[in-house]
């Protein structure tokens, strides 16, 4: 039965890959509407022919990888169960110590290491692709360092999450999903609180904005928006990427405004102020809280569905999956498989809401600064720096885009300024 499942899974995955290849590279479309050709939103107006070609190639490859890698991870989880690897990881972990926490840590280390090694070639290809197209400036040793930090940060958090999760499952096999969800609330807030001061500095150096004149302008803008903020930070991203970015992160006393040094080096003050006003719009309209509420709601539904599916699948196919009981740590790959599928399936909904929030933030930034022209040029420079696809195919937009497309953003801002033509 396990062999049959494996063959069917491989065949379905192969057919899916063929379909996505045809869609991304031949069917999906994504061309510029005739009505927008020659306008500020048309990439041909602000990108060279070489940049347009590179953008098209790079976007297609990245989109294809996105749609293929996620189901590939599901396939890996399935084979870890079918081949008895999860059972073997559990056996090794439990034979080393009697302490449950250490057993969980040992199991997670073996599973995490296996997944890291299996998926490493794809991660490296993504890195090499970014280097090839001039997006990444990071050398291999630095990239590996970030990868190792990622591994241990995720491992540490997973030890805590999984240990609590399986303790709850052992205490209540029927309502563990509800108790897990209740604990998700304080845990998520705690992670958001420590992110800017504990986790982010592991990857990059953060320091107060050196350009005090620009900092004063940003803080004045924040004051106009009634946003409490004392400092603006910059981060040294030029050694890793040519892309541009700025964001507001953290909650409470740890909230901060952050600008990549690439953004500071390549955008004008007015363009930076528009981007900052956009981020402030998220704060003013309380998007972080609405986003958190939506995340918690979807988590509640997701955990409930996961609990039902895990119980049903173990009862019916437990022998094939090498799982005896739901509270066995060896069932973790099944939990990860189901939650990953649900997260992928729900991404069009979360992305749609996120795009709405981003549109609102753009509108707020225009109202606050009145810098329509700076907004247009900022979007154009962001597109050029990241070789972004301004008008992606529908499936790509639904599953990948948490922001409106650059075509939509530029067109909307330019239309208000009267510079569409």
Structural domain boundaries of the chain? Answer: 2-203+286-417
Q: pLDDT digits over 279-304, tens only? A: 888 888 888 888 888 888 999 999 99
Average pLDDT over residues 242-262: 82
Rounded mean pLDDT of the chain?
89
Q: At 230, is the pLDDT very low, low, confident or very high (cuts 50, 70, 90)?
A: low
Q: pLDDT digits over 83-105, tens only? A: 999 999 999 998 888 888 899 99
pLDDT at 26: 86
Q: At 421, is the pLDDT very low, low, confident or very high (cuts 50, 70, 90)?
A: very low
239 is catalytic: no
Does position 218 have pLDDT exceeding 90, yes or no?
Answer: no
**Catalytic option among 234, 279, 389, 408:** 279
Q: Which CA distances in Å does 411 have to 35, 41, 77, 414?
A: 11, 5, 43, 5
Tokens of 134: 């001039």
Q: Over the range 316-345, which residues count as b (16 or more CB within 10 Å of their CB) and which as e?
A: eebeebbbeebebbbbbbbbbbbbebbeee
| CA–CA–CA angle 211, 213, 217 (5° rounding) | 115
44 sits in the region (left: phi over 0; alpha: psi -120 to 50; else beta) called alpha
Contact 392, 63 (CB under 8 A): yes
pLDDT at 399: 95
Between CA 216 and CA 192 the distance in angstroms is 26
Contact 416, 56 (CB under 8 A): no
Q: Report the side by side order of strands in the sheet with 232-235.
A: 206-208, 232-235, 256-260, 246-249
Between CA 340 and CA 321 the distance in angstroms is 18
Helical packing angle, 332-369 and 287-321, nearest 10°: 160
Contact 247, 217 (CB under 8 A): no
Q: pLDDT digits over 40-88, tens only? A: 888 888 888 898 889 989 999 999 999 999 999 999 999 999 999 999 9
Q: pLDDT digits over 302-350, tens only? A: 999 999 999 999 999 999 999 989 999 999 999 999 999 999 999 999 9
Contact 351, 399 (CB under 8 A): yes
Higher pLDDT, 61 or 257: 61
Contact 39, 421 (CB under 8 A): yes
Q: Which of 133-142, 220-229, 246-255, 385-394 has the highest mean pLDDT?
A: 133-142
């Amino acid at each position: 039965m396990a062999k049959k499942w494996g063959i069917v899974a491989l065949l379905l995955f192969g057919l899916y890959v063929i379909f996505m290849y045809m869609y991304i590279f031949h069917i999906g479309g994504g061309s510029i509407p005739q009505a927008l050709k020659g306008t500020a939103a048309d990439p041909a107006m602000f990108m060279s022919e070489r940049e347009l070609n590179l953008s098209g190639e790079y976007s297609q490859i990245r989109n294809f990888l996105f749609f293929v890698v996620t189901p590939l991870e599901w396939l890996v989880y399935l084979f870890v169960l079918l081949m008895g690897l999860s059972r073997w990881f559990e056996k090794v972990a439990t034979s080393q110590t009697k302490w449950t926490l250490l057993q969980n840590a040992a199991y997670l280390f073996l599973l995490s290491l296996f997944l890291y090694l299996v998926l490493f070639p794809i991660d490296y290809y993504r890195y090499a692709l970014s280097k090839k197209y001039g997006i990444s400036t990071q050398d291999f040793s630095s990239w590996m360092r970030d990868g190792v930090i990622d591994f241990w940060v995720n491992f540490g958090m997973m030890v805590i999450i999984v240990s609590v999760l399986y303790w709850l499952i052992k205490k209540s096999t029927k309502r563990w999903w509800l108790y897990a969800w209740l604990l998700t609330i304080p845990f998520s807030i705690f992670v958001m609180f420590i992110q800017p001061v504990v986790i982010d500095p592991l990857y990059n150096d953060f320091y107060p904005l050196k350009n005090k004149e620009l900092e004063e302008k940003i803080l004045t803008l924040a004051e106009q928006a009634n946003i409490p903020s004392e400092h603006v930070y910059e981060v040294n991203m030029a050694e890793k990427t040519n892309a541009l970015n700025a964001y507001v992160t953290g909650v409470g006393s740890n909230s901060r405004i952050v600008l990549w040094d690439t953004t500071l080096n390549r955008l004008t003050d007015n363009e930076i102020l528009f981007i900052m006003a956009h981020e402030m719009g998220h704060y003013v309209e309380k998007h972080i809280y609405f986003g958190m509420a939506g995340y918690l709601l979807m988590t509640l539904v997701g955990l409930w569905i996961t609990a039902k599916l895990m119980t049903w699948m173990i009862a019916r196919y437990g022998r094939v999956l090498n799982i005896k009981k739901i509270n066995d740590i060896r069932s973790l790959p099944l939990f990860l498989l189901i939650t990953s599928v649900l997260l992928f399936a729900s991404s069009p909904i979360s992305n749609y809401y996120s795009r709405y929030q981003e549109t609102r933030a753009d509108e707020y930034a225009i109202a606050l600064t009145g810098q329509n022209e700076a907004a247009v040029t900022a979007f154009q420079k962001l597109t050029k720096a990241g070789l972004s696809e301004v008008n992606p195919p529908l499936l790509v937009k639904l599953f990948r885009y948490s922001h409106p497309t650059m075509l939509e953003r530029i067109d909307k801002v330019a239309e208000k300024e009267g510079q569409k033509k």
